[in-house]
């Protein structure tokens, strides 16, 4: 009895720790840690990754880790001149107004047990953040407040009907189901006025009203997609699990491209020399111009994303920042 | 006192035959015992078992295995592993290792063990299987190709297969006790089996076999230690020639050698009788006992010879020598014994064994060389021919001693003391920078170009394996691995440690769980986190078996394994201090970071034990020497004159260690105690003659000159003989013997100089009135 009581007491004391946030530890090895996204800024580059690591660099070689109030793993970053947003696990959204030097928490909900996977801003005020189990957040005030938006239109007919029945019968269960029935949302792309979405279980979709309503795109694949983006030559590409790469054209819809390997493709990077690079796990690099070629980095570490920078390609990998070459 | 000596003299020299019979019988018995003496090495003897780190290590040893494992790398000499010859050989090695007694059969791992599996992420989740399928046929190229793909998928490149695909690893854990017979593991026999049954059978011009691990290292050390016999023979030969030159009589040469060998026999026989074996680390001790025996024996023949030349018979001379040498010789040997015994305060098995072995050996010399030797000598007939050889020598040596005696002139003394003070200051400064622990890569007991160290370098080079790792044992509550909060705390600790300079990488259940969590999420690195959701966390952790060594049965203990860049003491200290600092801030009742296991954890404990033992050891050895000097001289001045040079020399020896990059380790720590214990002999012999004369009011210079005439040649001779004996160790195939040889040679020679040069200078200051 006494034991139970003390355990309950312990639980009481442990629980608040979740709400407490630990600032990211400024570590000598942050540059060599698991980094998950990279973007160009007006002054150079920004990279984000595990343990709340945010790093800035003016040349891609020297990186300075910035003070961040939370040490949750950051999965994506987006840049609008001096304004920046980064999202990550524990449904964390942090923002900077000064080019990444100081960061404030805009959204943090560890009890959701869901990570955010991508963030995108249409202008200084309007933006969306997406994540696991169909987590979708929207802001109209530059991130001061974020509202959840369920997008059940991305489910198939049967699931939608089931949810609607549930909503009438049991509101609580409906909320619970809604939090887990949707696939993971992995990546957003804004091309022209159209917003694209890539996600789990063959999810590819587009929206013409900044993501308020979505329409699925048919594709003959049921595995996960990790990116949907425009190639250097303007074609739409989708990349996903086990080396799956698809190209879209209006006539035939999504058509597979043989990559010749079976590792996940994480990001599509459009380089300026009419060449597109698709980076993946195990150091696989798919180079796409008129034809397709495959290379692998020597250390075979997962490459998460890359950007063209001053004529070089700067990539983030599971072992930190790397310059890569064809 | 004089009465007691009279009594002894009477008893012994009246019953000379009986004395010899008694010694003969004892020697016969102990010789038979000595033939039973075994080389004996055990892992636990090398570590400070009562150090808190080692207590933690022993406590958790059952769950996490110890540092006592064996790694066998099978390498293709010119080809990659993907061919029939290689795989057949690898299987042979695996099977053979499995059957070697002492191996924990459940823990033999290689590509061929069933637990070596691959998993890959597919659309439906995970899929996987054994890396080498059941129907694998190495003759079939398709089979080889499949295995090569599976190896990559299994993520074992760098662990079970070398980075360049030329080698594959077979690993095993050793059992300290045989589960069937309950007998202790015979490390040396095991090492021999590895050499014969693995390397001997399976290495050829196509395949090379590289074996590392504590037991193999000890085996190689033992093999190297056997070379000592050669040095022993060389030392005996050199010593014999030296003694012959000194005493100019074959018979007089043989007697002290015989008595010293008898001392060694007794010592080894007694070891067996007391149930000890001879550890490779202390194999040099018999050697040392022999050298000390000879040096005291030389004092004896010197004394007898002088009496005979002065016209006495051999028996009279022997009796006189016995009388005059029993006290100084006894005190000197007693202080050696006590000096060695001070090593007992160090709580490391092999140092204690060394203390027992050495002190016993020296104590035995009191009997063989102070009693048996004069008895034997009393039978010797030294004719006119012998005396004639020394006819003119007296005058020549007097001139030399007269010259040396200048050291006790006030003016010269001041210069000498000034130089000594300068040397001391320099030595002090240098000795402060003496490093603790092993300073070089590989096994420090062996030379860098030894096969064992070459194998170590090959394996650490070709694999992502470090033999230098330390485990921090995180002790928490049962089922703690299902708590996000605890796992996250472990993960944060690990990351902070990874950022300490000298830590190359780290692994723990937390970091593995993160990888598995990504695996469950389609291998997406963005999910490489600890899930807050308890079911997910449990799912991740359930894929990690206790055999991984990352958790115990109820996951209340989870080690964080830190792979280090090297095992230099500074690196170890930096990391250990970082752990201590971290736990000051973050340790709680239910989350304790315990130091330490793994080879570097053992080194950390040993380094701490060694550096903690150094000051008390010096204190005790000097206290013992001071007390014995005070007792025998009954004069504070005389005691200071003996001890001060000794102290300066021990500081200079530490400075030499700094200069030669010899770290303070289990094998070098005892050297200073040995050096002081033996070094004091010279001072005692010289001052025992001087102190009577000084007490009688004789001027210092005269007293010193007389002492030199009486003992000087024997002291010089002893110092040189001892030094030559130990200096042969420099050619040893074992690095620690080389280090010990250098240091002991230095201490013997410089202590002798201290007694001949510094002691009279001090005396002239202390007895300044007696000019």
Q: How many angstroms separate the CA atoms of B561 and B574, rounded?
A: 16
Put simply, whether B496 touches A (Cβ < 8 Å) is: yes
First to last CA, chain B: 30
Ramachandran assignment for B53, one of left (phi > 0), alpha (psi -120 to 50 degrees), beta (any other): alpha
What pLDDT does residue A17 have?
37
Mean pLDDT of A275-287: 93
What pLDDT does residue B50 have?
85
Please choose, from the candidates B710, B718, B716, B749, the residue with its C-alpha nearest in 3D space to the C-alpha of residue B307: B710
Chain B positions touching A115 (Cβ under 8 A) are 526-527, 529
Mean pLDDT of B436-441: 78
Please choose, from the candidates B555, B564, B323, B591, the residue with its C-alpha nearest in 3D space to the C-alpha of residue B437: B564
When CB atoms are compared, the residue of A34, A110, A224 closest to B525 is A34
Chain B positions touching A73 (Cβ under 8 A) are 526, 528-529
**Beta carbons within 8 Å of B242's beta carbon, 6+ residues apart:** B717, B720, B721, B724
Least confident of A160-164, A219-223, A275-279, B651-655: A160-164
Least confident of A78-92, A236-250, B305-319: B305-319
Contact (CB<8Å) B532/A18: yes
Please choose, from the candidates B86, B142, B545, the residue with its C-alpha nearest in 3D space to the C-alpha of residue B150: B142
**Beta carbons within 8 Å of B6's beta carbon, 6+ residues apart:** none
Chain A positions touching B495 (Cβ under 8 A) are 25, 27, 51
Local structure of residue B107 (DSSP, 8 states):
G
Share of chain B above pLDDT 90, in %: 23
What pLDDT does residue A4 have?
40
Q: How many angstroms separate the CA atoms of B282 and B222, rounded?
A: 11
Q: What is the mean pLDDT of chain B?
A: 86
Q: What is the DSSP string of B153-172?
A: HHT-BTTTB-TTSSEEEEEE
Tell me the fold of A2-324.
Methylamine Dehydrogenase; Chain H (2.130.10)
Task: Select from A47, A281, A300, A304 the residue whose CB has the most chain B CBs within 10 Å, as the one to mutate to test that interface.
Answer: A281
Q: How many angstroms separate the CA atoms of A32 and B249, rounded?
A: 76
- 3-class secondary-structure state, position A36: strand
Chain A and chain B share a number of CB contacts under 8 A equal to 64
Contact (CB<8Å) A25/B121: no
Please choose, from the candidates B558, B430, B441, the residue with its C-alpha nearest in 3D space to the C-alpha of residue B506: B558
Q: Which residues of B174-206 are buried (b: 16+ CB within 10 A; e: fewer)?
A: bbeeeeeeeeebbbbebbebbbeebbeebbeee
| pLDDT single digits (tens) B717-763 | 888 888 888 888 888 888 888 888 899 899 989 999 999 999 999 98
Contact (CB<8Å) B496/A25: yes
Contact (CB<8Å) B532/A17: no
Least confident of A144-148, A279-283, B65-69, B344-348: B65-69
Local structure of residue B111 (DSSP, 8 states):
T
- 3-class secondary-structure state, position A317: strand
- pLDDT of B715 above 60: yes
Please choose, from the candidates A221, A316, A304, A204, the residue with its C-alpha nearest in 3D space to the C-alpha of residue A263: A304
State which residue of chain A sits closest to B531, comparing Cα positions. A113
Contact (CB<8Å) B492/A318: no
Mean pLDDT of B477-489: 92
Give residue for tokens 């005058």: B395
What pLDDT does residue B392 have?
67
Per-residue tokens: A228? 């949907």
- Cα B359 off chain centre by: 17
- 3-class secondary-structure state, position B445: coil
Task: Please tell us whether the domain made up of B393-433+635-771 is placed in CATH 3.40.50.2000.
Answer: no
How far CA B344 is from CA of B4, B348, B349, B612, B651, in Å, comes to 31, 9, 9, 14, 22
When CB atoms are compared, the residue of A29, A36, A262 closest to B526 is A36
Give residue for tokens 């140092």: B351
- A2: pLDDT confidence band, cut at 50, 70 and 90? very low
When CB atoms are compared, the residue of B495, B496, B526 closest to A75 is B526
Contact B322, B663 (CB under 8 A): no
Put simply, whether B529 touches A (Cβ < 8 Å) is: yes
- pLDDT of A77 above 90: yes
Given this chain, do its domains B234-391 and B393-433+635-771 carry the same CATH topology? yes
Chain A positions touching B480 (Cβ under 8 A) are none
Contact B278, B323 (CB under 8 A): no
CA distance A176 to chain B (A): 15
Least confident of B29-33, B216-220, B394-398: B394-398
Contact A265, A286 (CB under 8 A): yes
Count CB-CB contacts under 10 A for residue B663.
22
Chain A positions touching B499 (Cβ under 8 A) are 25, 27-29
Please choose, from the candidates A312, A316, A321, the residue with its C-alpha nearest in 3D space to the C-alpha of residue A272: A312
Q: What is the mean pLDDT of chain A?
A: 89
**Beta carbons within 8 Å of B467's beta carbon, 6+ residues apart:** B71, B212, B456, B459, B460, B599
When CB atoms are compared, the residue of B499, B525, B533 closest to A318 is B525
What pLDDT does residue A11 have?
40
Domain ranges (residues) in chain B: 52-222, 234-391, 393-433+635-771, 468-604
Mean pLDDT of B247-258: 87
What pLDDT does residue B67 have?
54
Task: Select from A12, A21, A75 the residue whose CB has the most chain B CBs within 10 Å, as the one to mutate to test that interface.
Answer: A75
What pLDDT does residue B404 have?
83
- 3-class secondary-structure state, position A81: coil
Alpha carbons within 13 angstroms on the beta-carbon side of residue A160 total 8
Q: How many angstroms separate the CA atoms of B143 and B261, rounded?
A: 65
Domain ranges (residues) in chain A: 2-324
- pLDDT of B246 above 90: no
- B391: pLDDT confidence band, cut at 50, 70 and 90? low
What pLDDT does residue B252 have?
86
- pLDDT of B527 above 90: yes
Sheet architecture: strand order including A147-148: A116-121, A127-131, A136-139, A147-148
CA distance B526 to chain A (A): 6
Put simply, whether B381 touches A (Cβ < 8 Å) is: no
- pLDDT of B263 above 70: yes
What's domain B234-391's superfamily in CATH?
Multidrug efflux transporter AcrB transmembrane domain (1.20.1640.10)
- B125: pLDDT confidence band, cut at 50, 70 and 90? low
């Amino acid at each position: 009895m006494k034991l139970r009581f003390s355990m309950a007491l312990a639980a009481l004391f442990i629980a608040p720790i979740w709400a407490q946030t630990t600032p990211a530890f400024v570590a000598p090895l942050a540059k060599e840690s698991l980094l998950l996204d990279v973007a160009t800024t007006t002054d150079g580059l920004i990279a984000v990754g595990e343990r709340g690591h945010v790093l800035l660099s003016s040349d891609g070689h020297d990186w300075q880790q910035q003070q961040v109030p939370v040490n949750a793993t950051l999965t994506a970053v987006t840049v609008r001149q001096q304004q920046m947003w980064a999202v990550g696990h524990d449904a964390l959204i942090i923002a900077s107004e000064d080019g990444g030097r100081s960061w404030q928490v805009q959204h943090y909900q560890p009890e959701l047990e869901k990570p955010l996977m991508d963030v995108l801003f249409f202008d200084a005020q309007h933006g969306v953040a997406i994540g696991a189990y169909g987590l979708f957040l929207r802001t109209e005030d530059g991130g001061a407040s974020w509202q959840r938006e369920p997008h059940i239109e991305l489910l198939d007919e049967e699931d939608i009907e089931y949810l609607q029945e549930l909503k009438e019968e049991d509101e609580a269960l409906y909320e619970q189901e809604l939090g887990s029935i949707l696939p993971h949302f992995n990546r957003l792309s804004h091309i022209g006025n159209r917003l694209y979405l890539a996600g789990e279980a063959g999810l590819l979709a587009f929206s013409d009203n900044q993501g308020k309503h979505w329409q699925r795109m048919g594709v003959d694949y049921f595995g996960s997609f990790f990116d949907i983006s425009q190639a250097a030559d303007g074609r739409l590409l989708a990349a996903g699990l086990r080396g799956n790469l698809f190209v879209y054209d209006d006539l035939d819809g999504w058509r597979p491209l043989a990559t010749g390997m079976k590792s996940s493709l994480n990001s599509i990077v459009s380089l300026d020399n009419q060449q597109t690079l698709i980076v993946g796990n195990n150091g696989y690099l798919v180079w796409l111009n008129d034809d397709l070629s495959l290379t692998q980095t020597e250390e075979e570490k997962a490459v998460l994303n890359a950007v063209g920078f001053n004529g070089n390609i700067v990539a983030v990998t599971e072992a930190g920042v790397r310059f890569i070459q064809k | 006192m004089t009465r007691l000596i009279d009594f002894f003299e009477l008893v012994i020299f009246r019953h000379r035959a009986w004395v010899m019979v008694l010694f003969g019988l004892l020697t016969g018995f102990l010789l038979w015992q000595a033939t039973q003496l075994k080389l004996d090495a055990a892992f636990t003897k090398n570590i400070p078992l009562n150090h808190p780190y080692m207590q933690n290590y022993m406590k958790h040893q059952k769950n996490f295995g110890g540092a006592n494992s064996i790694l066998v790398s099978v390498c293709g000499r010119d080809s990659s592993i993907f061919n029939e010859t290689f795989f057949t050989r690898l299987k042979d090695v695996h099977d053979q290792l499995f059957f070697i007694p002492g191996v924990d059969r459940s823990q033999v791992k290689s590509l061929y063990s069933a637990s070596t599996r691959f998993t890959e992420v597919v659309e439906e989740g995970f899929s996987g299987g054994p890396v080498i399928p059941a129907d694998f046929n190495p003759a079939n190229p398709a089979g080889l190709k499949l295995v090569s793909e599976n190896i990559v998928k299994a993520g074992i490149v760098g662990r079970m297969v070398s980075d360049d695909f030329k080698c594959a690893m077979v690993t095993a854990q050793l059992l300290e006790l045989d589960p069937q017979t309950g007998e202790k593991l015979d490390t040396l026999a095991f090492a021999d089996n590895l050499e014969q049954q693995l390397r001997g059978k399976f290495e050829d011009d196509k395949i090379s076999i590289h074996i590392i691990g504590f037991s193999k290292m000890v085996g190689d050390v033992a093999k190297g230690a056997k070379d000592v016999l050669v040095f022993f023979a060389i030392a005996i030969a050199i010593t014999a020639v030296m003694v012959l030159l000194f005493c100019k009589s074959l018979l007089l040469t043989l007697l002290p050698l015989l008595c010293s060998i008898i001392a060694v026999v007794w010592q080894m026989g007694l070891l067996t009788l007391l149930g000890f074996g001879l550890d490779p680390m202390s194999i040099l001790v018999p050697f040392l006992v022999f050298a000390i025996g000879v040096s005291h024996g030389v004092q004896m023949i010197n004394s007898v010879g002088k009496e005979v030349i002065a016209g006495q018979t051999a028996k009279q001379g022997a009796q006189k020598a016995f009388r005059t040498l029993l006290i100084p010789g006894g005190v000197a040997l007693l202080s050696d014994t006590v000096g060695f015994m001070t090593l007992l305060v160090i709580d490391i098995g092999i140092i204690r064994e060394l203390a027992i072995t050495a002190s016993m050996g020296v104590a035995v010399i009191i009997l063989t060389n102070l009693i048996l030797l004069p008895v034997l000598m009393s039978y010797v007939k030294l004719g006119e021919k012998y005396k004639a050889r020394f006819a003119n020598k007296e005058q020549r040596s007097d001139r030399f001693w007269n010259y040396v005696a200048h050291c006790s002139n006030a003016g010269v003394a001041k210069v000498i003391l000034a130089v000594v003070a300068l040397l001391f200051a320099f030595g002090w400064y240098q000795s402060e920078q003496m490093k603790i622990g092993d300073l070089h890569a590989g096994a420090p007991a062996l030379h860098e170009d030894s096969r064992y160290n070459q194998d170590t370098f090959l394996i650490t080079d070709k694999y992502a394996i470090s033999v230098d790792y330390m485990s921090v044992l995180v002790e928490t509550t049962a089922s703690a691995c299902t708590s996000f909060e605890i796992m996250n705390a472990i993960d944060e600790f690990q990351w902070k440690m990874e950022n300490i300079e000298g830590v190359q990488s780290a692994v723990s259940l937390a970091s593995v769980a993160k990888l598995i969590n990504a695996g469950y999420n389609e291998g997406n690195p963005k999910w490489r986190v600890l899930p807050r959701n308890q079911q997910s966390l449990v799912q991740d952790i359930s894929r990690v078996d206790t055999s991984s060594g990352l958790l115990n049965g109820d996951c209340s203990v989870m080690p964080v394994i830190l792979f280090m860049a090297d095992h230099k003491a500074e690196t170890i200290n930096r990391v250990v201090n970082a752990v201590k600092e971290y736990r000051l801030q973050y340790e709680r009742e239910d989350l304790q970071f315990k130091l330490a296991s793994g080879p570097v954890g053992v080194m950390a404990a040993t380094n701490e034990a060694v550096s903690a033992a150094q000051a008390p050891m010096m204190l005790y050895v000097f206290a013992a020497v001071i007390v014995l000097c005070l007792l025998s001289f009954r004069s504070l001045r005389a005691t200071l004159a003996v001890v001060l040079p000794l102290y300066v020399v021990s500081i200079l020896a530490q400075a030499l260690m700094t200069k030669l990059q010899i770290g303070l380790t289990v094998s070098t720590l005892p050297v200073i105690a040995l050096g002081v214990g033996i070094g004091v002999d010279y001072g005692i012999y010289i001052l025992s003659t001087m102190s009577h004369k000084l007490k009688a009011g004789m001027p210092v210079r005269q007293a010193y000159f007389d002492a030199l005439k009486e003992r000087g040649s024997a002291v010089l001779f002893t110092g040189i003989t001892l030094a030559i004996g130990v200096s042969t160790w420099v050619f040893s195939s074992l690095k620690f013997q080389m280090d010990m040889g250098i240091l002991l040679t230095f201490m013997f020679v410089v202590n002798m100089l201290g007694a001949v040069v510094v002691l009279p200078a001090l005396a002239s200051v202390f007895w300044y009135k007696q000019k």
